[in-house]
Structure 1
Amino acid sequence: MPHTAHDHGPHHETRRDDDSQAELLDLDAEVLSEHIAAITGWLPVDGNPRRIVDLGCGTGAGTFALLTRFPEARVTAVDSSVDHLNRLRDKACESGVTDRVHVVQADLDAVWPDLGEPDLVWASASLHHMADPARALRQIRGILTPGGLFALVELAGFPRFLPADAPAERPGLEERCHAVIEHRHAAQVPHRGADWGPWLTAAGFTVEGERTIGVDIEHSRSEAIGRYALASLRRIRGAVADALPADDLTALDRLLDTGGPHSILRRDDLAVRTERVALAARRA
């Protein structure tokens, strides 16, 4: 956890997939850092939480935002990927916060490790990947201290980068790619896009706040947006190539050819457009 696309092939392909996903998670954290900080700043915490758990931490976007927001806290970062956790540990070392981060490798669909009694549990873009989210929510409620807060953050949609009329030879290409992903995820990731409020109530939480964070960042704000778009579309290609018309695949490959004249890195009209939904729930 979390996963942003499909797993492919044998072990060497899995390692390559992990590397590309880690790159994408790092770019996501870099480009959307202000939005992540806005969510952590909005959380209706009681006092200053000292013990935080980040479920499905990836390479640490939430972990480091929480460490910044709560400078006296320690974070237990949980993920199923050893590579992601190693990357997170390296970042913690570089940032001088190793003593405030404890990593735990675990598949939460199988066995929940001992995560102590946190004051705050954070789960960003991870709950919808769990096989049984209702069970996971009951587990989260069970480990929270009385009055503890659970912060649930989910993507309202995958980021879009291109204008609607791009590329010139195949306008609307990006939306057609996303349509393929949406169709496949409806079966493979059925809980993505769920209305989590009733799930939280059923698990014994009281929802104290809900916020939708709109993201619309122009390319001029950061050259990282080009790299973010490239990494995202590369992963999208791996997920949709077998379902795209030949002309769409050709146009997509032109965008992904970093040495070619149509490379997405050469475009000056990119943006990051998406939404994130955040819910804050108290253990009832």
Structure 2
Amino acid sequence: MNHPSPHTAHDIHRHEHEHEHDADDQVEILDLDAEVLAEHIASITAWLPIETSPRRIVDLGCGTGAGTLALLERFPEAEVTAVDLSAAHLHRLQEKAAAAGAADRVRIVQADLDTTGWPELDAMAWPELGMPPELVWASASMHHVADPDRTLRQVHDLLAPGGLFAVVELAGFPRFLPEDAPEGAPGLEERCHAAIDHHHAEQVPHRGADWGTKLTKAGFTVEGERTITVDIGPPQTDAAGRYALSSLRRMRGGVASALTAEDLAAFDQLLDTESPHSILRRSDLGVRTERTVWAARRT
């Protein structure tokens, strides 16, 4: 078995710095996603087929709290257990919950969803709560797990009988430009999406999975499926511009090797905030994407 050579202190420091920088980038883009798409997230929580408001909710892969805060607002008597592997995400969520006056309604759990057991989520470990969750929410997290079928069965066992599992999945990166943009490289965004879709097919094989079939196989009864279409046209807010910039910055690493020199130069001009061609300076900037939600009942 081959072993990598030992890291120098400089290598370790650089790796930690890059990891922290990546975590900071993720925090920013998740916060901007929550701000720009708040209305659409609220429409999903309002659509959920729930007759009696839940008292206990679990948000699996909570990120910086877009779903957590939307659920707290939708269900004012509920408490949410927010689960994520990233300490940076959870710290930011705590800050946002405190700012919203909801810190006492959020319980933070740092955990890996790929583990075979979730003792931190076992109701037996929370005698003060007294019951399992009536609602589990997972937005843009299920496609990241190593074994979705196993994870779905774990969620099934975690839920209270009759409880609801809401799975929200995204249709990839949002789109921000008209089809004939940018000048000099029309259609650039579509070529970037084709490249990132190819990258995700290799690296994130469960993106785009048939979640309805998987939920049924795991023992759920799927009670509803809905696709939310987002099409926010110009003029745009400052947050939308920063959302586009952060999204395209994050996309660049996955597409750079697949682009021509001309396309890459045009892409980098979009990312250059000092350039007259910057994404922040475009009057035709939009936000277009889709999110699909499945509502599945533990019967």
The aligned counterpart of 1:6 is: none
State the 1:179 CA deviation: 0.9
CA contact (8 A) 1:67 1:74 kept: yes
Aligned with 1:121 (options 113, 124, 136): 136
Map 1:1-284 onto structure 2 (within 5 A). 10-110=15-115, 111-115=117-121, 116=123, 117-284=132-299
2 CA distance for matches of 1:257 and 1:127? Answer: 34
Find the residue that maps to 1:114 and give its secondary structure: helix
What is the CA deviation profile of residues 136-158 of structure 1, one whole-angstrom value per residue up to 9, with x for unaligned ones? 10000001011000001001232
Residue 8 of structure 2 corresponds to none
Determine if contact 2:32/2:242 at 8 Å carries over to the other structure: yes
The CA deviation string for residues 235-265 of structure 1, in whole angstroms up to 9 with x for no partner, is 0112222222111111011111101111110
Unaligned runs of 5+ in 1: 1-8
Q: CA RMSD in A?
A: 1.1
Q: How many residues align?
A: 276
SS of the residue corresponding to residue 219 of structure 1 reads coil
Q: Is 38-47 or 112-121 further displaced after alignment?
A: 112-121
Cα deviation, residue 221, structure 1: 4.8
Write the distance in 2 (CA, Å) between the matches of 1:264 and 1:216. Answer: 17
* Identity, % of aligned positions: 69
Alpha-carbon distance between aligned partners in 1 of 2:118 and 2:181, rounded to the nearest angstrom: 45
Q: In structure 1, what is the Cα distance between the partners aligned to 2:180 and 2:236?
A: 22
The one-letter code sitting in structure 2 at the alignment partner of 1:197 is: G
Separation in structure 2 between the aligned mates of residue 273 and residue 188 of structure 1, nearest angstrom: 24
User: SS of 1:58's equivalent?
Assistant: coil
CA distance in 1, matches of 2:259, 2:193: 11
SS of alignment partner, residue 10 of structure 1: helix
Quick one: distance in 1 between partners of 2:195 and 2:111? 31
Contact 2:173 2:247 in 1 (8 A): no
Q: Can you give the 5+ residue segments of structure 2 that lack an aligned partner in the other structure? A: 1-13, 124-131
Structure 1 SS opposite 2:108: strand
Q: Which amino acid aligns with 1:234?
A: R
> C-alpha offsets along residues 126-171 of structure 1, whole Å, 9 cap, x if unaligned?
0000000001100000010110000010012320000111111101
Q: Tell me if structure 1 keeps the 8 A contact 2:236–2:285.
A: no
* TM-score between both structures, scaled by the size of structure 2: 0.90
Larger radius of gyration: 2
Task: Name the amino acid aligned to 1:54.
Answer: D
